[in-house]
Amino acid sequence: MTKANAFNDCIPIDEGDLIRVKRMLFSHWAVYAGNGSVIHITGKDDVPSERNSTAEDIEAQLKAYIKKEKFEKMLAADTFAVANSQYDNRKLLGFNFKPLRKSKILERLNRFLGKIYPYSLFYLNCEHFSTFARYGTAISDQVSIESLWKVYSGGILPERDVTKGA
């Protein structure tokens, strides 16, 4: 991972690259759109996160807003990595994760820009959106059974072999 301010120090990022930003429990994902901008799933800007939120606020938090923002705004003080290697050329269930052409990735991103979808940690999160734009199929390693086991156990429980169903 690279410190956020290193973006200005010529880290090579190309249009269509997957960007992974380290957050507390999960990473946030986006796709670099060129000219210092990313397109990603985010929440509504004006929704409070306090416990006394209204029902309308809570409903807004359950929606995925597709936005184009300046890279620095998305990063804040977090660290990031160009994360293409996590998926590029992976083979999974007969699907080869080969990146689409840059023009196709950008066309796909722009088609979704400004749209709102129901948010789902398991079926439509920022990583699903980013991998769908780059490869044509949505996947999220961080919400796999193995990853969730590690997060929810807090590192206290031993590694679990999910292939044995135990």
Q: Is residue 158 part of a domain?
A: no
AA identity, residue 137: T
Q: Write the CATH number for 91.
A: 3.90.1720.10
Q: Is residue 161 part of a domain?
A: no
CA–chain centroid gap for 53, Å, is: 25
Q: Is residue 150 part of a domain?
A: no
In tens, the pLDDT along 98-129 reads 999 999 999 999 999 999 998 888 888 999 99
Question: pLDDT grade, residue 5 (50/70/90)?
Answer: very low
Question: Among residues 30, 37, 40, 139, which one is catalytic?
Answer: 40
In tens, the pLDDT along 48-79 reads 344 444 555 555 567 888 999 998 888 765 67
Question: pLDDT grade, residue 148 (50/70/90)?
Answer: low
Interatomic CA distance for residues 97 and 135, integer angstroms: 6
Mean pLDDT of 4-19: 71
Whole-number pLDDT of residue 150: 56
Q: Is residue 95 part of a domain?
A: yes
Return the structure tokens found at 74.
């998305």
Q: Is residue 36 part of a domain?
A: yes
Q: Are 1 and 22 in contact (CB under 8 A)?
A: yes
CA–chain centroid gap for 129, Å, is: 7
Q: Are 23 and 101 in contact (CB under 8 A)?
A: no
Q: Is residue 7 part of a domain?
A: yes
Q: Exposed, middle or buried: residue 46 (CB in 10 Å: 0-12, 13-18, 19+)?
A: exposed
* Residue 10 annotated to the active site: no
Within 8 A by CB and 6+ apart from 67, the residues are 39, 40, 41, 42, 113, 114
Q: Are 19 and 13 in contact (CB under 8 A)?
A: yes
Percent of the chain with pLDDT over 90: 35
For the cut 60, the answer to whether the pLDDT of residue 149 exceeds it is no
Question: Among residues 20, 28, 128, 134, which one is catalytic?
Answer: 28
Whole-number pLDDT of residue 52: 44
Whole-number pLDDT of residue 112: 94
* Residue 126 annotated to the active site: yes
pTM above 0.75, yes or no: no
Q: Is residue 82 part of a domain?
A: yes
Question: pLDDT grade, residue 147 (50/70/90)?
Answer: low
Q: How many CA atoms lie within 13 A of 50 on its CB side?
A: 5
> How open is the CA angle 154-155-160, to the nearest 5 degrees?
110
Domain of residue 71 covers 2-139
Question: Among residues 33, 126, 133, 139, which one is catalytic?
Answer: 126
Give the number of domains in the chain: 1
Q: Is residue 162 part of a domain?
A: no
